[in-house]
Amino acid sequence: MRGVRLLSSICLLVFLTGGCASVPFLAAMDVMNVAETGKTGYDMATGLSSRRTLAQDTSPDTQAVARLRAALDAQGGLLRFAVPVVTQGRAYVVGTYGSPQELERARKAVRSIQGVTETTLCLFPFGSRPPLGNTDGEIRDNIVRLAGLRTNDVRVHVVEGNAVLIGLVRTKAEQTQLQDSARIAGAATVRNYVRLMAVK
């Protein structure tokens, strides 16, 4: 009991002599540390953005993709989820449709898009996927793995079990390997729109 009183007295003495002054001082230090951290974070953010500005892709193909996207979004329904791809002025619309009327609306919507020389609809009936086998994502991953793809010039889409291959390759052998990989991976059908790069 005596020890507890002694400890209480010491704490009270410290608080009365220097404690009152030290508490505001510590609080002020914490505020300063927070402010300094915030300033450093702001300086880093503004410094990075002033040094490195992101270059916006304004290529004709990218602009055509945006126009296709807007045309599909305007149709609503399943067409809103279709993926537009444009490579060297050739457009592809990959996805599903819910009815023959929706498919016809898609044809009309993409008929004349600025910056597109021709458009291919790669749309499949919604719910037409074979009941057995791998999922679309698994088939796609297997195609990429089997073909040994290491390039952004080729896009692989799988919709309702059907593979759609779009892009550019350097050799006929790569083109054939992609086709074979899609079949081995279990795609119900393969639409191969992969073309050979022009030789410079």
CA-nearest of 56, 62, 102 to 80 is 102
Q: What's the domain range around 26?
A: 1-54
* Same-domain status, 96 and 158: yes
pLDDT digits (tens, 9 = 90+) for 79-133: 999 999 999 999 999 999 999 999 999 999 999 999 999 999 999 999 999 888 8
Tokens of 136: 């679309």
The number of C-alpha atoms within 13 Å of 71 and in the hemisphere containing its C-beta is: 21
Per-residue pLDDT of 175-191, as tens digits, reads 999 999 999 999 999 99
> Which of the 8 DSSP states describes residue 55?
P
Please indicate, yes or no, whether residues 103 and 184 belong to a single structural domain of this protein: yes
| Model confidence pLDDT, tens digit, residues 120-167 | 999 999 999 988 889 999 999 999 999 998 888 999 999 999 999 999
User: For residue 152, which amino acid is it?
Assistant: N
Tokens found for residue 139: 């088939």
| Domain shared by 39 and 134, yes or no | no
Is residue 175 within 8 Å of residue 169, measured between CB atoms?
yes
109 and 151 together in one domain:
yes
CATH number at residue 190: 3.40.1520
